[in-house]
Chains A and B, each alone.
Chain A
Amino acid sequence: MSFDASFVQAFEKTYDEDFDEYMSSLEQRSDHVFSEKHEKKMAKLIKRQRKPYFRFICTAGRRAACIAAATVVFSSTALGVYAVRNRAFDLSADSCSDHDVIKTTSDSSDYPEIIEKEYYISELPNGYRQTEYNKTDNWSYSEYRNGNKRIVFEQCTKKSFKLYIDNEYCTSESYIDTDGVKYIIKTFQNGSFILWDNGEYIMTLSSNLDKNVALKLCKSTKVK
């Protein structure tokens, strides 16, 4: 018998013995029991995989895509609502290195083209008297003084409003009241400047007062 044939015969014999031994050990072994914790985790995984939306969130990339799509859909829906869209779009700021240019971007045909309803500050603090008043079709301007203290209230039609404001040496914040009116508050070293859109006109109030006191004056504005 050649060496090759002898080798094959010996290999087959050894292999058969080892295989038989392995198979018998398998038959004798009892079924493995998983821990309760593992069973619960597996049940949870299987349950999650059976959800109809699982294929949209099964990977991190697909989850991120879903969140992005939901954000776009939500924003589009919100901005489709007239009030929200106009609150969001009416005031825009073009930022330069040292100042912002604030103006309105809305279609002016939706809003009064002239001052039809004139507003005033109904809760003026004691000691202030009006020192200047100027009214045209596009604005109403009132200045009040108390010594070296000053309150300036202006009402503008949306199409005529434009402002250049420092953006380096002031702090900027916004406040939304219970009626949904958003006030943009710029605080300077020597006072505050508050700007808001009441739905028809752009109003501003500039003063040496504390910003919280100034904000109360803004909220006190009424139609004459």
Chain B
Amino acid sequence: MKKKFVSVFTAVMMLFVFSITAFAESDQDVAVVPMRYSYTNIVSSRISFSGHTATCRSVVEGKSSVTKIEITQCLEEDIGGGWWYRIASWTKTFYDNYATYTNTKSSVPSGTYHTRTIATVYVGSNSECITAYSTTASC
């Protein structure tokens, strides 16, 4: 009898404790996390070398409501320690819900590189920003 009472009492107390924790956070305290992939279906980033000429390609596919896509494409070199050095970058705006962007850079020094694609996808005045990285390639 005593054990039952203790079990029920503990269960009820735990219920109250969790309820209090849930209500402790007010709307003003919650950090707003930016939504991503609300406007974007797919982002791909590619890199290829032919000798010391790098070809970078970015593809962004948005939902049908997308009115504009801005792509910033960066060719970056791996300098170690998780750091990347920007060798070149290009930016273009596309007034469509689908965009492909290809650029080349010649005389690239030997090293390991990737393409960083920064896509800003617009639905009217609202936008979201997505970064996509290619695999690495060496020349």
Residues of A bordering B, CB below 8 Å? 98-99, 103, 132, 134, 136-139, 141, 143, 150, 152, 156, 159-170, 188-191, 193, 206
Contact assessment for B48 and A164 in the assembled complex, using a CB-CB cutoff below 8 Å: no
Once the chains are docked, how many angstroms separate the CA of A137 from the CA of B48? Answer: 7
Residue B19 at the chain A interface, CB threshold 8 Å: no
Contact assessment for B41 and A139 in the assembled complex, using a CB-CB cutoff below 8 Å: no
* Of B1-9, B55-63, B70-78, B84-92, the one touching chain A: B55-63
Contact assessment for B137 and A189 in the assembled complex, using a CB-CB cutoff below 8 Å: no
Secondary structure at chain B's binding surface: helix, strand, loop or mixed? strand
Contact assessment for B133 and A136 in the assembled complex, using a CB-CB cutoff below 8 Å: no
Given contact pairs A139-B46, A163-B42, A99 touches B36 in the complex (Cβ within 8 A): yes
Contact assessment for B135 and A165 in the assembled complex, using a CB-CB cutoff below 8 Å: no
Residue B24 at the chain A interface, CB threshold 8 Å: no
Contact assessment for B63 and A162 in the assembled complex, using a CB-CB cutoff below 8 Å: no
Contact assessment for B48 and A136 in the assembled complex, using a CB-CB cutoff below 8 Å: yes
Contact assessment for B135 and A162 in the assembled complex, using a CB-CB cutoff below 8 Å: yes
Residue B120 at the chain A interface, CB threshold 8 Å: no
Once the chains are docked, how many angstroms separate the CA of A162 from the CA of B41? Answer: 14
Residue B38 at the chain A interface, CB threshold 8 Å: yes
Q: How far is the CB of A84 from chain B (nearest CB, A)?
A: 25
Once the chains are docked, how many angstroms separate the CA of A163 from the CA of B43? Answer: 6
- Contact residues in A for B137 (Cβ distance below 8 Å): 138, 160
Per-residue CB contact flags for chain B residues 23-65 toward chain A (1 = under 8 Å, else 0) read 0000000000001111011111111111000010101010110
Residue B112 at the chain A interface, CB threshold 8 Å: no
Instruction: Return the chain A residue nearest B40 by Cβ.
Output: A166
Q: How far is the CB of B78 from chain A (nearest CB, A)?
A: 15
**Of A159, A166, A188, A191, which one neighbours B135 at CB under 8 angstroms?**
A159
Contact assessment for A132 and B41 in the assembled complex, using a CB-CB cutoff below 8 Å: no
